[in-house]
């Protein structure tokens, strides 16, 4: 391993570790982000950290000629990326259900269920990927990666990645369609309205598009944080439960009558996920395809100098996904930005109180 390669990987490892822990900490300490769509990103950040640890083990195994580190690396080679893909596929499925089956999603999907699903997905994926070793068919004692085993994992990664791309394309098309079908006056910035719950005027609408539920944002971030903390459903609406029925009031929103609801935050999260993840596949697919090509070059005893020459560079490019994923989430999630501002104000207020107290 050259000095340039080692330096590059150490920089990515350092930056990736800081960013992934930052994302996990902000979501963990911000109650307004305690919803399934954000829990997936905590899980992805944690698995990214496992990928970073795997990269550190790789460096130790090569530079220090450490056999134990080499065996650990062989055991988990390629597994954590498969888990990342699995989590991203589940995230895409979560977004798709949130915009196509909103009422069911709001009622059935919970934080506890999401954590349980992610835990099961992690255990099953890791157990299946490493099963040749703990069942005795393969051994890590010789400290070499089995090409056939890696080929199977890479083929699975490729199929899983294609499935994710299809899901993201469907999400993007569906989200754009829903947004374009909304009335222009509803798509604009919301204004403060006061509803009276004793009105019983009913109006009927014949429009055929779904209704978007738009949380009313507070002017003060502290008040916004408090209002979100009182919400208990899986959608993360910044509304009290009684406001949900008021949003259905056909007196002011006649097009809401008898229409299925879709939360605007769910649509934003779905669009953001699709826009950010498609470039991720484009960056990681070449790595998978090149590794598959290496397998067949060895298997067929072909001379493929280009494939072997570009493999180290693609491996370094592949490591960038541990930085790319959390960065795109931070930059494109408005909920994360608001939670970060709220958390910053909360910390400054606590710090100021301790000084003056």
CATH classification of the domain holding 62: 1.20.1070.10
Domain contains 29: yes
Beta bridge partners of 211: 261
Domain contains 281: yes
Domain contains 211: no
pLDDT score, position 118:
94
pTM of the model: 0.73
Domain contains 257: no
Domain contains 151: yes
Full residue range of the structural domain in which residue 100 is found: 3-180+264-356
Beta bridge partners of 212: 262
User: What is the percent of the chain with per-residue pLDDT over 90, rounded to a whole number?
Assistant: 12
Q: What's the number of domains the chain is made of?
A: 1
At 33-88, the pLDDT tens digits run: 888 888 998 999 999 999 999 989 888 888 878 888 888 888 888 899 889 889 98
CA dihedral 29, 331, 273, 278 (to 10 degrees): -140
pLDDT score, position 184:
52
d(CA 239, CA 224): 9
- The DSSP-derived string for 77-131 is TTHHHHHHHHHHHHHHHHHHHHHHSHHHHHHH--HHHHHHHHHHHHHHHHHHHTH
**What pLDDT band is residue 167 in, cutting at 50, 70 and 90?**
confident
Domain contains 109: yes
Domain contains 311: yes
Among the ranges 181-195, 200-214, 334-348, which has the highest mean pLDDT value? 334-348
Q: Which residue has the tokens 């280009």?
A: 306
Domain contains 250: no
**What pLDDT band is residue 204 in, cutting at 50, 70 and 90?**
very low
Q: Helices (DSSP H) in the chain: which residue ranges?
A: 3-29, 36-63, 67-75, 79-100, 102-108, 111-129, 131-134, 147-181, 184-187, 221-229, 241-247, 264-299, 305-319, 321-332, 334-356
Tokens of 43: 């899980």
């Amino acid at each position: 391993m050259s000095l340039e390669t080692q330096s590059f990987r150490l920089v990515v490892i350092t930056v990736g570790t800081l960013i992934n822990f930052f994302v996990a900490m902000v979501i963990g300490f911000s109650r307004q982000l305690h919803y399934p769509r954000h829990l997936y990103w905590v899980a992805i950040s944690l698995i990214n950290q496992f990928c970073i640890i795997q990269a550190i083990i790789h460096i130790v195994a090569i530079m220090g000629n450490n056999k134990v580190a080499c065996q650990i690396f062989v055991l988990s080679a390629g597994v954590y990326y498969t888990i990342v893909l699995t989590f991203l596929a589940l995230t895409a499925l979560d977004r798709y259900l949130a915009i196509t089956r909103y009422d069911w999603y709001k009622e059935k999907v919970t934080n506890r269920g999401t954590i349980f699903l992610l835990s099961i997905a992690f255990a099953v994926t890791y157990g299946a990927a490493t099963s040749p070793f703990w069942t005795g068919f393969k051994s890590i004692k010789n400290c070499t990666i089995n090409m056939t085993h890696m080929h199977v994992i890479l083929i699975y990664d490729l199929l899983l990645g294609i499935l994710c791309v299809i899901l993201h394309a469907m999400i993007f098309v569906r989200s754009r369609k829903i947004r374009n079908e909304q009335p222009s006056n509803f798509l604009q910035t919301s204004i403060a309205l006061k509803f009276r719950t004793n009105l019983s005027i009913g109006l009927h609408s014949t429009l055929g598009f779904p209704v978007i539920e738009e949380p009313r944002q507070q002017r003060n971030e502290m008040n916004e944080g408090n209002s979100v903390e009182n919400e208990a459903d899986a959608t993360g609406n910044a509304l009290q439960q009684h406001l949900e029925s008021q949003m259905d009031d056909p007196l002011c929103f006649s097009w809401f009558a008898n229409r299925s609801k879709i939360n605007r935050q769910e649509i934003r999260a779905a669009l953001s996920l699709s826009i950010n993840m498609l470039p991720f596949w484009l960056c990681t697919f070449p790595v998978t395809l090149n590794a598959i090509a290496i397998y067949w070059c060895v298997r067929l005893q072909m001379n493929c100098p280009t494939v072997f020459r570009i493999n180290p560079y693609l491996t370094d490019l592949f490591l960038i996904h541990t930085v790319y994923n959390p960065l795109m989430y931070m930059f494109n999630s408005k909920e994360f930005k608001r939670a970060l501002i709220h958390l910053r104000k909360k910390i400054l207020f606590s710090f100021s109180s301790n000084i003056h107290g």
